[in-house]
Amino acid sequence: GTVTTGNSTTTTGNGTTTTGNSTTTTGNSTVTTGNSTTTTGNGTVTTGNSTTTTGNSTTTTGNSTTTTGHGTTTTGNGTTVTGNSTTTTGNSTTTTGNSTITTGNGTTTTGNSTTTTGNSTVTTGNSTTTTGNGTTATGNSTTTTGNSTTTTGNGTTTTGNSTTTTGNGTTTITNSTTTTNSSTTTGNGTTTMIMGTTTVVM
């Protein structure tokens, strides 16, 4: 897959790319970006049914995912994200950055104030938005992380400071927060048990 990282990066497949602060874009696979990052093309990854938004310590999820370390995130299905600046790899495309947008056939328009039109439309401001056909980075669950590390997926084990582990449900995390399906949410020194899964935070 394709990986796009950086503050003002634009990557396009079949569609057209237009950049500028207040941007309008038209066309099948058209991408318009301002300060955010845009990645387009079929098989682009960042989201499946759900969306993933990440901060400094980015999390990408998959089945049987394990995440360990202070600001490190590791995901299953061949995807790995590590470090403060996130790197995501896998079969599909991964886009990372402060304000990242990934789109498939639909049109994506981004900027400080965003307007988006198209079949599979994505509009984002400072946060990260990902859309597209056959997109992979998250399954049915959505994960949003701040500075802490988040790992989601079935049978996930997460260990380290300020670590979050989630099941099939949606997880939103700020600093040192943990949320789970059959959930226990705590701060530092959290232990979370999901579906036979154990999460230990030191």
pLDDT tens column, 159-169: 444 434 444 33
Q: Is the pTM of this model over 0.75?
A: no
Are 138 and 102 a contacting pair, CB within 8 Å?
Answer: no
Domain at 152, CATH number: 2.150.10.10
| DSSP-derived secondary structure letter, 41 | S
pLDDT of residue 2: 46
pLDDT tens readout for residues 88-98: 333 333 444 44
Residue 110 to residue 190: CA distance in whole angstroms: 37
The answer to whether residue 53 is domain-embedded is no
Kindly give the parts of the chain with pLDDT less than 70: 1-202
For residue 141, tell me if it sits in a domain. yes
- Per-residue burial over 154-188, b if 16 or more Cβ lie within 10 Å, else e, is bebbbbbebbbbbbeebbebeebbbbbeebeeeee
pLDDT single digits (tens) 118-145: 333 344 333 444 444 333 444 434 444 4
State the residue range of the domain holding 127: 121-186
Report the distance separating Cα 10 and Cα 101, nearest Å: 9
pLDDT of res. 146: 43
Residue 187, pLDDT score = 33
Structural domain includes residue 42: no
Residue 155 CA to residue 25 CA, distance in Å, equals 41
Q: Is residue 167 part of a domain?
A: yes
Residue 181 lies inside a defined structural domain of this protein: yes
Question: Does residue 7 form part of some domain?
Answer: no
**What's the total number of domains in the chain?**
1
153 domain-assigned: yes
